[in-house]
């Protein structure tokens, strides 16, 4: 077990010693303070990468990456005010509101994803939360995709009482609902739903034994302490998320966060490494923003413990590397699909 979690005061030497103690035994939740995670961020880069790779190798095949594909099944027109999102109806972006996709269109996209090597198919809808009439066709999509032999994932907004049960019965494997950032920075980005609203949805998902996919967005103007605060929220859950997407802000003209100072790429790699160390048994997904990353930075993210990506040229409404580009990079790095 990581002894770091029981220390009240950390210095760099003690931290490095504790992290090498016994990663293979890290099957229980360790309580991480924000200060302890900041101490990880502040390690010399090579030391942090070494510690992250050590944890990663103790828990995963270091040369395997899980591949998911994300499809926007209902685009635009969202009533929320998330400052990063071009699908918010109140912002003037190039994203148009579109109706829910037809079942046969979703199945065709899932088949293409499977043919390209994806093992999980994620369906996202731009809703504050689904009404029952919205949910019913999505349940059919989930059942059909599951029957194809793919893992299923959905991100539909906040869930009401009883909706998680319906998703479970339809065959949903994962539900994505990101915390986005630390509690103290959250109000700078979103005002139309609370942090507790997000936690409540995750609790509903957990209560029916659906796997949790939850992470955040880095580079929204938050401090390093606030990046550490996000990871502390995730790592200290009773069961940390099985999948932790770490997104780099994709700036879209017309959204409030367009023009935010760009994050140092090495700080993003540090975030991936800290996520790996604090959540040793979770898949850490290198998610949105890869289109703007060099192949070298992506390779460092994999070295830091990222072991999941989204495959396909589009993530909801923003660009993503094409599958052929990722296949080429995997081949050059000796990475196999998990």
Parallel/antiparallel/unpaired status of strands 174-176 and 216-218: unpaired
β-bridge partners, 336: 64
Set 120, 122, 204, 227: catalytic member: 122
* Alpha carbon distance 222, 138 (integer Å): 35
Secondary structure class of 225 (helix, strand, coil): helix
Write down the catalytic residue from 120, 193, 227, 285. 285
In eight-state DSSP terms, residue 190 is: -
> What is the share, in percent, of the chain residues with pLDDT greater than 70?
86
Phi and psi angles of residue 94, each rounded to the nearest 5 degrees, phi first: -85, 0
Is residue 283 within 8 Å of 67, Cβ to Cβ?
Answer: no
Continuous segment of H or E residues that includes residue 64: strand 64-74
Residue 124: its H or E element: strand 120-125
Beta bridge partners of 67: 309
- Helix/strand/coil for 6: helix
Strand segments, DSSP code E, in 132-271 are 151-155, 174-176, 211-213, 216-218, 243-248
Of 47, 59, 45, 53, the C-alpha closest to 15 is 47
Give catalytic status of residue 122 as yes or no: yes
Encode pLDDT of 86-116 as tens digits. Answer: 777 677 676 677 889 999 999 999 998 898 8
Torsion over CA: 231, 236, 237, 239 (sign):
positive
Q: Which tens digit of pLDDT belongs to each residue from 142-173?
A: 999 999 999 999 999 999 999 999 999 999 99
pTM over the 0.85 mark: yes
Q: Is the dihedral of CA 30, 35, 39, 42 positive or negative?
A: positive
Q: Are 315 and 283 in contact (CB under 8 A)?
A: no
Q: Find residue 176's DSSP bridge partners.
A: 213
Read off the tokens for 107: 């199945």
- Active-site position among 193, 198, 204, 213: 213
Note if 301 is an active site residue: no
| Annotated active-site residue in 153, 270, 290, 301 | 153
What pLDDT, on the 0 to 100 scale, is given for residue 12?
44
Q: Does 3 have pLDDT greater than 90?
A: no
285 is catalytic: yes
Q: How confident is the model at residue 254 (pLDDT cuts 50, 70, 90)?
A: confident
């Amino acid at each position: 077990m990581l002894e770091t979690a029981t220390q009240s005061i950390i210095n760099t030497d003690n931290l490095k010693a504790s992290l090498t103690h016994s990663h293979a035994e890290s099957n229980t939740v360790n309580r991480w303070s924000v200060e302890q995670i900041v101490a990880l961020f502040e390690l010399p880069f090579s030391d942090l990468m070494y510690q992250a790779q050590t944890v990663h190798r103790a828990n995963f095949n270091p040369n395997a990456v899980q591949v998911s594909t994300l499809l926007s099944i209902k685009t635009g027109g969202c009533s929320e005010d998330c400052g990063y999102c071009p699908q918010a109806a109140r912002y003037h972006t190039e994203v148009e509101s579109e109706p829910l996709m037809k079942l046969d269109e979703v199945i065709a996209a899932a088949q293409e994803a499977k043919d390209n090597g994806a093992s999980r198919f994620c369906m996202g809808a731009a809703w504050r939360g689904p009404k029952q009439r919205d949910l019913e066709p999505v349940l059919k999509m989930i059942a059909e995709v599951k029957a194809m032999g793919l893992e299923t994932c959905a991100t539909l907004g906040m869930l009401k009482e009883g909706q998680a049960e319906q998703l479970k019965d339809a065959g949903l494997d994962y539900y994505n609902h990101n915390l986005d950032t630390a509690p103290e920075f959250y109000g700078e980005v979103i005002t139309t739903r609370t942090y507790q609203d997000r936690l409540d949805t995750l609790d509903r998902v957990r209560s029916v034994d659906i796997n949790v996919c939850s992470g955040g967005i880095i580079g929204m103007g938050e401090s390093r302490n606030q990046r550490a605060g996000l990871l502390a929220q995730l790592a200290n859950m009773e069961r940390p998320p099985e999948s932790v997407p770490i997104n780099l802000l994709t700036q879209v003209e017309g959204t409030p966060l367009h023009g935010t100072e760009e994050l140092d790429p090495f700080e993003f790699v540090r975030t991936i490494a800290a996520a790996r160390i604090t959540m040793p048994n979770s898949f850490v997904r290198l998610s949105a923003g890869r289109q703007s990353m060099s192949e070298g930075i992506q390779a460092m993210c994999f070295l830091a413990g990222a072991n999941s990506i989204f495959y396909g040229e589009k993530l909801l409404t923003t660009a993503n590397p094409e599958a052929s580009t990722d296949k080429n990079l995997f081949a050059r790095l000796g990475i196999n699909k998990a």
